[in-house]
């Protein structure tokens, strides 16, 4: 009996030791690494690794660190005292830094599409329309010189009558008869034998990972397809000449590689509002790109939580700012921000200047039109996605929402172009590094706006004026630089962004 018990104990001890040393990592830690933020990081490693190459690892390192921000001084608080306080802590006025770094020059050489800029807006669009018409004609008629001068329909009357009888017979068929005679379209059936690199797998819809029977295609492969489609539509790119830093906008920041990367908590002023608003510097750049003028009517189409609209109000330039967001909870956050930073927000004075709206940005309408429209679209929010599981776009229950992001962004930008007046400007921005969500959406939206609504907009190249920010943040250059907008890259020296900013001016 003792021997049997001894054997059982021995065997059980051996079993426990086996289970204990089966893996060096605790099961709880393994489970955590399958969360949304780890999925996002794996996704970005695959996608951005193929887009940015060796530039991606340092950008990734910066994304995983705490972000940096600037302080937007509140003109309705103790502004002079606040600026003095921050200066004593080593912060610098952003406008002064930009003046020092200013490299504006009359000799401006565009970096891309110089051949397009040498032509007028009308000639570029006319050439595109002519090419479309020629393509349409060549699709109707055979590619030969035997195009009939006159079409004789007398020989086709019998065929028309016969076809009409055939259609009536088809309409009277039962479902089973119709199925027996149906022609099955097999062109969209995806076979596993085609391989993971087959273009057939990703030629229909954009996706992070598109499943075709037993194969998966990563987004890096899809990007190579997306980047080459719809490039026949010509974009007009011109240098930006109206950019200036608003006189009443006061922004304080620390220089690159500075140890003073964090500001203290903002405090209430004597008027009851907070003295400054902490935010990402790239968000300030998006407002600067609007090139606001006195008396402007401004629309912030996707406004919440209201930081960019607040910066626009701090310029003291727009007469009316319409802040729209479809989410009730996010709109409430915008209102809370305004109450914290604008004296007596809610009285008649502010109701005339600041309008809060809760409409889907794709369906927003307005009879008066706007001088400037800011459309900071929903996106993959790259920094949040790799650091937080809560409300992460890479959660399993948000897959469809994530795959539809480029479509949603395109629809929002098209509506923004419809809402802005001729001569007015639209600023499109994201907080993503994705070329699909950035240049890709901008190109698709401009093409759709022209072909559907005959809207023509010019892309304004901000490269020259934004060089003056070289001592504050890092802008993409070389192979990483977008074709149409500006890309703020996260870096350990100046950990702002990521952000994409593009300025469009409607000319027709």
pLDDT band of 210, cuts 50, 70, 90: very low
pLDDT for 450-484, tens place per residue?
A: 999 999 999 999 999 999 999 899 999 988 999 99
Q: How far apart are the first and last CA of the chain?
A: 97
Confidence (pTM): 0.76
277: nearest Cα among 75, 65, 496? 75
For CA atoms 186, 191, 197, 202, the dihedral sign is positive
Instruction: Look at residue 114 and tell me whether its pLDDT is greater than 90.
Output: no
pLDDT for 41-96, tens place per residue?
A: 999 999 999 999 999 999 999 999 999 999 999 999 999 999 999 999 999 999 99
What residues have CB less than 8 Å from 286, skipping those under 6 apart? 308, 374, 376, 427, 429, 499, 501
Mean pLDDT of the chain: 80
**What is 60-129+233-506's CATH superfamily?**
Vaccinia Virus protein VP39 (3.40.50.150)
- pLDDT number for residue 101: 85
Q: How far, in Å, CA of 279 to CA of 303, rounded?
A: 14
- pLDDT number for residue 135: 60
Give the range among 3-12, 115-124, 497-506 with minimum mean pLDDT: 3-12
77: nearest Cα among 356, 254, 279, 266? 266
Q: Which of 25-29, 143-147, 173-177, 429-433 has the highest mean pLDDT?
A: 429-433
pLDDT band of 112, cuts 50, 70, 90: very low
Class of residue 426 by CB neighbours under 10 A (exposed 0-12, middle 13-18, buried 19+) = buried
434: nearest Cα among 475, 406, 415? 406
Q: How far, in Å, CA of 377 to CA of 403, rounded?
A: 15
- pLDDT number for residue 262: 75
Q: Which of 113-117, 239-243, 384-388 has the highest mean pLDDT?
A: 384-388
Higher-scoring residue by pLDDT: 186, 345: 345
Residues with catalytic annotation?
A: 431
- pLDDT number for residue 234: 82
Instruction: Look at residue 489 and tell me whether its pLDDT is greater than 70.
Output: yes
What residues form DSSP beta bridges with 298? 321, 372
> What distances in angstroms separate CA 357 from CA 160, 370, 413, one per listed residue?
55, 15, 18
Residue 434 near residue 47, CB atoms below 8 Å: yes
- pLDDT number for residue 200: 40
Q: What tokens appear for 9 in the block?
A: 């104990």
Q: What tokens appear for 204 in the block?
A: 């229909």
491 by DSSP, 3-state: which?
Answer: coil
- pLDDT number for residue 65: 93
Residue 506 near residue 417, CB atoms below 8 Å: yes
pLDDT band of 106, cuts 50, 70, 90: very low
pLDDT band of 416, cuts 50, 70, 90: very high
Instruction: Look at residue 443 and tell me whether its pLDDT is greater than 60.
Output: yes
Kindly list the domain boundaries of the chain, sorted by start residue. Answer: 60-129+233-506
- Element spanning 377, H or E: none
Percent of the chain with pLDDT over 70: 68
- pLDDT number for residue 113: 42
- pLDDT number for residue 455: 95
């Amino acid at each position: 009996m003792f021997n049997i018990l001894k054997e059982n104990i021995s065997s059980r001890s051996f079993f426990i030791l086996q289970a204990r040393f089966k893996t060096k990592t605790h099961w709880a830690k393994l489970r955590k690494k399958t969360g949304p933020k780890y999925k996002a990081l794996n996704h970005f490693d695959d996608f951005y690794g193929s887009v940015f190459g060796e530039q991606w690892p340092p950008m990734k390192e910066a994304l995983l660190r705490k972000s940096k921000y600037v302080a937007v001084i509140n003109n309705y608080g103790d502004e002079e005292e606040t600026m003095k306080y921050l200066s004593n802590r080593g912060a610098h006025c952003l406008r002064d830094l930009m003046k020092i770094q200013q490299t504006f020059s009359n000799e401006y050489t565009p970096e891309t599409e110089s051949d397009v800029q040498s032509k007028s807006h009308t000639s570029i669009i006319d050439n595109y329309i002519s090419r479309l018409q020629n393509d349409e004609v060549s699709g109707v008629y055979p590619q030969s010189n035997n195009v009939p001068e006159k079409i004789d329909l007398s020989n086709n009357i019998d065929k028309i009558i016969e076809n009409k009888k055939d259609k009536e017979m088809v309409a009277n068929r039962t479902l089973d008869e119709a199925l027996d005679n149906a022609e099955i379209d097999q062109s969209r059936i995806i076979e596993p034998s085609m391989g993971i690199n087959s273009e057939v797998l990703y030629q229909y819809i954009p996706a992070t990972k598109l499943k075709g029977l037993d194969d998966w295609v990563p987004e890096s492969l899809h990007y190579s397809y997306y980047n080459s489609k719809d490039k026949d539509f010509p974009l007009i790119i011109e240098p930006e000449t109206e950019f200036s830093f608003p006189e009443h906008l006061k922004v304080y920041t620390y220089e690159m590689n500075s140890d003073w990367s964090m500001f203290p908590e903002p405090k209430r002023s004597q008027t009851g509002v907070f003295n400054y608003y902490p935010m990402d510097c790239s968000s300030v750049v998006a407002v600067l790109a609007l090139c606001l003028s006195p008396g402007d009517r401004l629309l912030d189409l996707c406004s919440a939580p209201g930081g960019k609209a607040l910066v626009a109000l701090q310029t003291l330039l727009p007469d009316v700012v319409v802040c729209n967001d479809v989410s009730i909870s996010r709109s409430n956050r915008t209102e809370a921000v305004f109450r914290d930073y604008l004296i007596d927000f809610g009285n008649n004075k502010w109701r005339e200047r600041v309008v809060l709206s809760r409409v889907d940005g794709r369906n927003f309408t307005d009879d008066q039109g706007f001088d400037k429209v800011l459309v900071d679209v929903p996106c993959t929010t790259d920094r949040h996605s790799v650091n937080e599981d809560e409300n992460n776009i890479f959660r399993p229950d948000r897959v469809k929402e994530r795959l539809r992001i480029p479509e949603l962004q395109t629809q929002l930008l098209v509506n923004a172009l419809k809402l802005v007046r001729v001569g007015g400007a639209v600023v499109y921005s994201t907080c993503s590094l994705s070329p699909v969500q950035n240049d890709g959406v901008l190109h698709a939206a401009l093409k759709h706006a022209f072909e559907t609504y005959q809207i023509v907009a010019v892309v304004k190249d901000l490269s020259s004026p934004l060089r003056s920010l070289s001592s504050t943040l890092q802008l993409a250059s070389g192979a990483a630089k977008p074709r149409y907008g500006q890309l703020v890259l996260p870096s350990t020296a100046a950990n702002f962004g990521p952000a994409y900013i593009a300025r469009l001016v409607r000319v027709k």
